[in-house]
Amino acid sequence: MEVEQVRGGGGDLQSLAPKAKLASDRVQAPAATAASSNSGFITGDAGVQWHGRFDAVTAGVERRVDWQGAQVTTSADELESCDQEVRGKFRAIERRIPARREQ
């Protein structure tokens, strides 16, 4: 694993996540306008209702993508720490081996 690349990708995912909400925000005002300017129409209320569901969907996508980014970042961090630990062990072994070779 290229830790920095993966960690950066996790950050990109987390920064990308909120953009899903923009799709919902784009619909909010037109839906509200259509409902208010067409009083008595079922379609107006249905549009507002639809936006509510759509907003929930985009929010779910946002949370999921954000969660994925967090998991990716965490995995990168864990692997880095594990890598450092193994590196330390290898260095410890490395310190022993040359001494025996010199002998």
Partner 1 sequence: MPAYEEALAAQPAAFVDCAAAMSAAGNDLTEHRGEYDTTVTTINDGWHDTANTAFNDDVDLVDEHVDQVVAKVGDAAEVLSTGGSAMVSQVEQLKAVDAAYKGAGFVVQPAPKVELGPAHWAAIAAAGPFGPVLQAVFQARADEGTMRLTTGLAVLTATDVATGTSLTAAAEALQPLEDKGPGATDCLPVEDDGTDGNLEKEERQTDVKAQKDTEKDTEKDSGKDDSGEDEDEKSDDKDKEDQDKDQGKDDQDKDPEQPGDQQPQPEVPQPDRERPENEVPGFEPPDPVGPEVPDFTTDPIVPGGPDLGDPWKPTELEDAEVPSGGLASGGGGGGIGGGGPGSSGVPSGTSGTGSGGPLGFVGTPAGGTPAGAPAGGRPGLGGGLVGAPGARGPVNGDEEYERESFLTEDPEDDVWGIGTDEGNPYVDYQEEQAQQSDLPTLAPVEELPPFALPGFDLPEPGKS
Question: Is the CB of 33 or the CB of 94 nearer to partner 1?
Answer: 33
| Residues of span 47-86 touching partner 1 by CB under 8 A | 47, 49-50, 52-54, 56-61, 63-65, 67-68, 71-72, 74-76
Dist. CA 17–CA 1, nearest whole Å: 23
- CB 39 within 8 Å of CB 77: no
x/- mask, partner 1, residues 14-43, rule CB under 8 A, reads: --x--xx-xxx-xx-xxx-xx--xxxxxxx
Number of residues lying near partner 1 (CB under 8 A)? 55
Q: Which residues contact 72 (CB under 8 A, 6 or more apart)?
A: 6, 7, 9, 10, 13
3-class DSSP assignment, residue 18:
coil
Site membership for partner 1, residue 1 (CB under 8 A) = yes
- Closest distance between partner 1 and the C-beta of residue 4, in Å? 8
